[in-house]
Structure 1
Amino acid sequence: MKKTHVALGAILTAIVPATLTAQDVTLRLSHWVPPTISPATKGIQPWAESVMEASDGRIDIQIFPAQQLGKAPDHYDMARDGIVDLAWVNPGYTAGRFPIYALTEAPFMVDDSVEGAKAIHEWYAEYGAEQEMGDVKVCFVHPHAPGAFHSQKDVTSPEDVQGMNVRPAHATMARFVSLLGGGPVQVPAPEVREALSKGTAEAVTFPWGSMYDFNLTDEVPVHLDMPFYLSSQVMVMNKASYDSLSDENKAVIDEHCSPEWSGRVAAGWAEDDMAAKEKLMADEGQTFNTPTEEEVQSWIDAAAPLIDEWKEAVTDNGHDADAILAAYKEALEARDADY
């Protein structure tokens, strides 16, 4: 009788489901900005598309924008608890929760958001990610170009903020407003226009592009033309979602959770911010105030207590604040992103 020899690999291929060797998975990604504005279209969307392409379609990412699945301040917990697989988080929306990362919110530290994004990623991976975001996987940091102070009246020096109600970008900027004698009005970005139109706030610290993204050109047409602060969002992933991936798919995610990708997602946002600034400058209805060198120094001096407060908070959490601050400055200098 004739014997037929069948390769063992062929038998296994016939009986083992393909999903065990080339896993297909759908990840739910939530963020809190409208899907048409630059942080989404120039950062989050290209990142998700690249993940899907690099995985040859094995990883599908469903994006839920504009707070569809939860409020902006809840996004870290949404990822941690597995409500979503991926979440775009503003750590500054939860004051005191991430004291190390709060250093990125200090004004007058970063003047290049693209190289700064890479520096922040490298620094935080070593000095903070496991310590205070250890229950998620940090994928990338996503700052806008250095934001500015936008108001309904002229503001050129720290003294001008006294008595003003200001919507701050994050907890550190809220503290700065308080130090200057102003009143912080803390609402998420999608609710800023309402606060300004109702008179709850008279000014806002925002990236340039947000003037158009949130239709604010008539609400705050006066701009302080100096790099003022940074707000650096973070894309985080649920750990169980990551751990459940095949090794092949984990490699794709790892490739997209890097300092290089932090720079790439920041670049699109920065380009849009600078284009928006140029558009504003060409608009006769907008006013730009350029501070003198003395006024710039007065702003920097006024912000000095924020670093002292940051050091105290970090030390109280058991960390070496001086070493962390020195490492942050070194990382920025190495990328030529320091103020």
Structure 2
Amino acid sequence: MTPRMTRGALKHCQRVLLLGVGLALGAASPSASAVTTLRITHFLPAVASVQRQVLDPWCDELEARSGHEIRCQIYPSMQLGGIPSQLPDMVRNGVVDIAWTALGYSAGRFPRSEALELPFMLPAGGDEGSRIAWAFTQGPARKDFADYHVLAVHSDGGAVFHSRDTLIYDAADMAGLKLRAPTRMASRMIDALGASAVSMPPAQIADTLAKGVINGASAGWEVVPPTKLDEVTRYHTEPAAHQATPTVTVLAFLMNKQSYERLPDKARAALDALSGEGLSRRFGKAWDDAIVRVRAKVKNDPDQTVITLDDAAYNGMRDASRSVTEDWMASREGGVDRAALVRALEALVEQKEPALE
């Protein structure tokens, strides 16, 4: 009696154990194999608004919406190597799945999109500029992005002239200054205004200014905290709210095409739902919030001075830099009809839309 009960109990325990292992494997295997980790990189520190205000929450939403089929691994500050101008190649070649990059850092790579950076073309502010940038790059400039799946394109809200020792009230005050320029178009605009442009990425600005190699920089307000620009400059010149910005840095969130196509259907649908114009304007809104926050901090510092261009100074700068736009339109490099692109962009700028809440 006792031996039979022992053997029966043993068999029962074995069945229960095998069933438990089977259930565990059945539950674990599909989820483990279905998770896709997207490698995302960018050129700013992890404390910058792009990661804290957009990328981190966006990744959380993407993971939840995909049913945890997608997760992100973010590499800030070029942690995977290379320099900012190489980010488009890193995406195209599959070194990373996604990169957030400034189009103008890779001079000549996105020729049609350069129109967005022309002097006094886009309105100041991130949201409206990002609406225009998304529409333009998905329409007239779409050939620039044939090698990528584009998740978002946005504006940095526009340029501010930050200087160490010189109050800039108009173009005459810029004569002889050496100013950092973020893009090729910004360089041409700065040269046209009488200063000398020096190209460099954000990470180099503060050190170069501190050493006296340059006198100031063209950069959006959002860049100021992560680059410590306010620690090496005292004067900041910006356009008025009703004026167009001297230039913008156009930023894009680019994905490797194969990485996108390999996603399972549910994961791809989640990514699609969180991309496009909505994400572009989400970036833009984050930049608007940063502009308000950083400008207020700088204005409240008694050692800092913020100057707003009056209409006469604005018109003078716009007229002085008009040749940059005319020369760009006249160029037929690469067979691109640049005059048609400018006309299309001007039409988009005229199509005013309300800001996102």
**How much has 1:155 moved relative to structure 2?**
1.3
Task: For CA contacts below 8 A with separation 6 or more, give which structure has more relative contact order.
Answer: 1
Name the CA shift for 1:236/1:309 in 2 (closer, same or farther; >3 Å): same
Contact 1:42 1:269 in 2 (8 A): no
Separation (CA, whole Å) in 1 of partners of 2:335 and 2:30: 45
> SS of 1:185's equivalent?
strand
Separation (CA, whole Å) in 1 of partners of 2:68 and 2:205: 38
Point out the more displaced range, 195-204 or 220-229: 220-229
> SS of 2:34's equivalent?
coil
**How much has 1:50 moved relative to structure 2?**
2.0
Name the CA shift for 1:23/1:128 in 2 (closer, same or farther; >3 Å): farther
Mapping 1:30-179, distance limit 5 Å: 30-69=41-80, 70-109=82-121, 110-129=123-142, 131-152=143-164, 153-179=166-192
Between the two proteins, the alignment pairs up a number of residues equal to: 322
> SS of 1:200's equivalent?
coil
**How much has 1:263 moved relative to structure 2?**
0.4
Unaligned ranges ≥5, structure 2: 1-24, 240-244
**How much has 1:56 moved relative to structure 2?**
1.5
Measured on the aligned residues, the alpha-carbon RMSD in Å equals 2.3
Query: Do structure 1's residue 328 and structure 2's residue 345 form an aligned pair?
Result: yes
Point out the more displaced range, 322-331 or 82-91: 322-331
Structure 1 residues 200-244: Cα deviation after superposition (integer angstroms, max 9, x where no partner):
111101112322222122311111131432212101001111111
Name the residue aligned to 1:11. none
From 181, 188, 197, the counterpart of 2:210: 197
> SS of 1:103's equivalent?
helix
Name the residue aligned to 1:8. none
Separation (CA, whole Å) in 1 of partners of 2:114 and 2:70: 32
Name the residue aligned to 1:3. none
Name the residue aligned to 2:328. 310
Query: Do structure 1's residue 214 and structure 2's residue 227 form an aligned pair?
Result: yes
**How much has 1:68 moved relative to structure 2?**
0.5
Instruction: Give, as a single letter, the amino acid of the residue that structure 1 aligns with 2:65.
Output: A
Query: Do structure 1's residue 229 and structure 2's residue 241 form an aligned pair?
Result: no
Contact 2:110 2:144 in 1 (8 A): yes
**How much has 1:54 moved relative to structure 2?**
1.3
Is the radius of gyration larger for structure 1 or structure 2?
Answer: 2
Structure 1 residues 97-147: Cα deviation after superposition (integer angstroms, max 9, x where no partner):
211111111232222320221221122111222x12211111101322223
With structure 1 as the length reference, what TM-score do the two structures score?
A: 0.88
Contact 1:157 1:299 in 2 (8 A): yes
Separation (CA, whole Å) in 1 of partners of 2:108 and 2:316: 27
- Structure (1/2) with the larger helix percentage: 2
Name the residue aligned to 2:275. 257
Separation (CA, whole Å) in 1 of partners of 2:305 and 2:51: 28
> SS of 1:167's equivalent?
strand
Instruction: Give, as a single letter, the amino acid of the residue that structure 2 aligns with 1:85.
Output: D
Name the residue aligned to 1:9. none
**How much has 1:18 moved relative to structure 2?**
6.7
Separation (CA, whole Å) in 2 of partners of 1:115 and 1:181: 29
**How much has 1:181 moved relative to structure 2?**
3.3
Name the residue aligned to 2:12. none
Mapping 1:239-254, distance limit 5 Å: 239-254=257-272
Instruction: Give, as a single letter, the amino acid of the residue that structure 1 aligns with 2:34.
Output: Q
Unaligned ranges ≥5, structure 1: 1-13
Name the CA shift for 1:274/1:228 in 2 (closer, same or farther; >3 Å): farther
Separation (CA, whole Å) in 2 of partners of 1:102 and 1:292: 27
Name the residue aligned to 2:302. 284
